[in-house]
Amino acid sequence: MPEWPLAFFLTATRAEYAGDLAPGAVRVRGVVHDSRAVRGGELFVPLPGARTDGHAYVADAFARGAAASFWRRSVPVPAELRRRPLLFVDDPLVALWEASRAHRARLRGRVVAVTGSVGKTTTKDLIARALAARLTVAYARESYNNHIGVPLTLLAADEDIDAVVLEMGMNRRGEIAELSRLARPDVAVITLVGESHIGLLGSREAIAVAKAEIALGMDEGGRIYIPDDDPLLPKAAYLFAFPGEVRTVGPRGKDPGGLLEDRGLDGFRMWAEVNGGRAELDVPLPGAFAWRNALYALFVARDFGIPPAEVEAAWRELERSPMRLAPRHTPRGALVLDDTYNAAPTSIRAAVSVLARVPARERVAVLGEVGELGEHAPRLYAELGETLPVEGIVYLLFGPGLAPLEAALRARGARVWRTEDPEALLAEVRSYDRPDAVLLFKASRYMRFERFVQALLAEGSGEGGPTGG
């Protein structure tokens, strides 16, 4: 964790300082925006939330040991904080970005950035673990992929770090461009272009352009990896005009590789042409659909001088981000595949393909709605229902928007059940909670599907189940 004199933040953000301690007596170790994350010595960033303003937690941050805090100039300072080290700025979020930009300029290592419709976090985790085989690496253990998480991740990197691995998400055009210009990646990956955010951007072509914005923060020495079978990305203007190198990944790519064997929950085996030779690697990730994510990581590691054998060994110690096809057992013996972090039609297909390969008497796909599909939702749900496997899988659907998915599955003879009542869903899920069953949970974040997983895992522990819609 880096450490700075307070003067670094005063200069970077042009803040005005007030407090009993002289600025030279204050040193900062770490930057946080959640007072509960304070361990001692951090700079607190009070940001507006959905229900409250971060300034309400500044006192708590100091009580927990924060060294200083930003403070919005327009907000009155309560009497109990007037002697505390406060940095007055017009906007704490802008100040966070200014500090992050100044710190990025000090970093001596290279920055890797990952974006795409699906697979960002998995790819980020694979890259970070591969690079850690030889190098010092900073990366977010969670999906810190937005306008708050990216600057915080940069600020968590020591100046002499070898590599920083970032994840970049988006909700609008221009957001990836802003994040890329902040982070200035040396290497970037665009995992694929899917239907995520199509309700906001209108088409897959527009999504491709938005993802390609990652090139706008890179210079002529940069390198961007994209899938070899995507017809849209090579035509995206930002990539077409990119002065650096664009490399395709896949069986027919400039960097060739592909899937050799799908081992279900035990992972998969893949091949790749690396440094003039053929390598075959075992990847301990459930779901062979992640083979291209692993290839991206392998080729990024190559760029850092790490050979395939060391990458494969490093992946044996891979720690995956939570709620991403995490296998867990209920007290009653059912196997739960917790993939509740987020969802898109593409990732639902992939997750159900994993479920279909798990040996079990009963396979249950518990699916919720996908966000940000807009007017395209009925069509995309119907197409999903036309392509999901129906043999040997029971579908439990939650939400009014999934009626087209239900209809398409029924038309193909699938066993399907749908409700809009969370208690009814939990009761139906519980009827499958037994040792010979495996249950996949998958939905967008706003559906809060983790509550159903937690309720199942708590069965027999005396804890209650979820309530609310």
Q: Is residue 469 part of a domain?
A: no
Indicate whether 153 and 289 sit together in one domain: yes
> What are the φ/ψ torsions at residue 247 (nearest 5 degrees)?
-120, 130
Residue 347's closest CA among 168, 192, 126, 119?
119
Indicate whether 53 and 141 sit together in one domain: no
| Helix 204-212 vs helix 175-183: crossing angle, to nearest 10 | 20
Last residue of a domain, one of 267, 293, 315: 315
Indicate whether 13 and 147 sit together in one domain: no
The vertex-264 CA angle with 279 and 390, nearest 5°, equals 135
Q: Supply the CATH number for residue 333's domain.
A: 3.90.190.20
Which residue positions form the known binding site? 116-122
Which residue positions form the known binding site for ATP? 116-122
**Residue 194 amino acid letter:** G
Last residue of a domain, one of 315, 346, 368: 315
Parent domain of 417: 326-457
Q: Supply the CATH number for residue 195's domain.
A: 3.40.1190.10
Calpha distance 149→147 (Å, rounded): 6
Q: Supply the CATH number for residue 85's domain.
A: 3.40.1390.10
The vertex-177 CA angle with 175 and 182, nearest 5°, equals 100
Calpha distance 163→153 (Å, rounded): 12
Number of domains in the chain: 3
The count of other CB atoms within 10 Å of the CB of residue 77 is 15
Q: What would the two tokens of residue 35 be?
A: 């007072």
Q: How far apart are the first and last CA of the chain?
A: 40
CA atoms within 13 A on the CB side of 354: 30
Indicate whether 354 and 300 sit together in one domain: no
Cα distances from 193 to residues 79, 236, 247, 383, 387, in angstroms, run 52, 11, 16, 17, 19
Residue 101's closest CA among 11, 36, 30?
11
What's residue 463's pLDDT? Answer: 45
Indicate whether 148 and 285 sit together in one domain: yes
- For 246-295, give the DSSP string: EEEEETTSSEEEEEEEE-GGG-EEEEEEETTEEEEEEE--S-GGGHHHHH
> 122 with 189: CB under 8 angstroms?
no
> 372 with 196: CB under 8 angstroms?
yes
The total number of residues written for the chain in this structure:
469
Last residue of a domain, one of 33, 64, 92: 92
Q: Is residue 97 part of a domain?
A: no
Indicate whether 52 and 141 sit together in one domain: no
What's residue 195's pLDDT? Answer: 79
Q: What would the two tokens of residue 62 be?
A: 């100091």
Indicate whether 285 and 341 sit together in one domain: no
CA atoms within 13 A on the CB side of 168: 36
Indicate whether 305 and 373 sit together in one domain: no
Q: What would the two tokens of residue 408 be?
A: 């398409």
What's residue 466's pLDDT? Answer: 55
Q: Is 126 helix (H, G, I), strand (E, B) or coil?
A: helix
Q: Is residue 463 part of a domain?
A: no
What's residue 235's pLDDT? Answer: 84
Calpha distance 368→209 (Å, rounded): 28
Q: What would the two tokens of residue 208 be?
A: 């491709």
Q: Is residue 36 part of a domain?
A: yes
Indicate whether 355 and 383 sit together in one domain: yes
Spatial neighbors of 275 by CB under 8 A, at least 6 apart, are 302, 307
Q: Is residue 71 part of a domain?
A: yes
Indicate whether 113 and 261 sit together in one domain: yes
Residue 410 falls in which region: left (phi positive, over 0), alpha (psi -120 to 50) or beta:
alpha
Q: Is residue 102 part of a domain?
A: no
Q: Is residue 99 part of a domain?
A: no
Q: Is residue 129 part of a domain?
A: yes
Tokens 């955010």 — which residue? Answer: 197
Calpha distance 310→431 (Å, rounded): 45
Spatial neighbors of 399 by CB under 8 A, at least 6 apart, are 368, 369, 420, 443, 447
Spatial neighbors of 468 by CB under 8 A, at least 6 apart, are 422
Q: pLDDT tens digits, the chain, 469 residues: what are they?
A: 899 999 999 999 999 999 999 999 999 999 999 999 999 999 999 999 878 899 999 999 999 999 999 999 999 999 999 999 999 999 999 999 999 999 999 999 999 999 998 889 999 999 999 999 999 999 987 778 999 999 999 999 999 999 999 999 988 889 999 999 999 999 999 999 987 778 778 888 999 999 999 999 999 999 999 999 999 998 887 887 899 999 999 999 999 999 999 998 889 999 999 999 999 999 998 888 899 999 999 999 999 999 999 999 999 988 776 777 888 999 999 999 999 988 899 899 999 999 998 999 999 999 999 988 889 999 999 999 999 999 999 999 999 999 999 999 999 999 999 999 999 999 999 999 999 999 999 999 899 999 999 999 997 543 445 545 4
Indicate whether 21 and 150 sit together in one domain: no
Burial profile 324-345: b = 16 or more Cβ within 10 angstroms, e = fewer: bbbeeebeeebbbbbbbbbbbb
Tokens 């804890």 — which residue? Answer: 463
Indicate whether 136 and 44 sit together in one domain: no
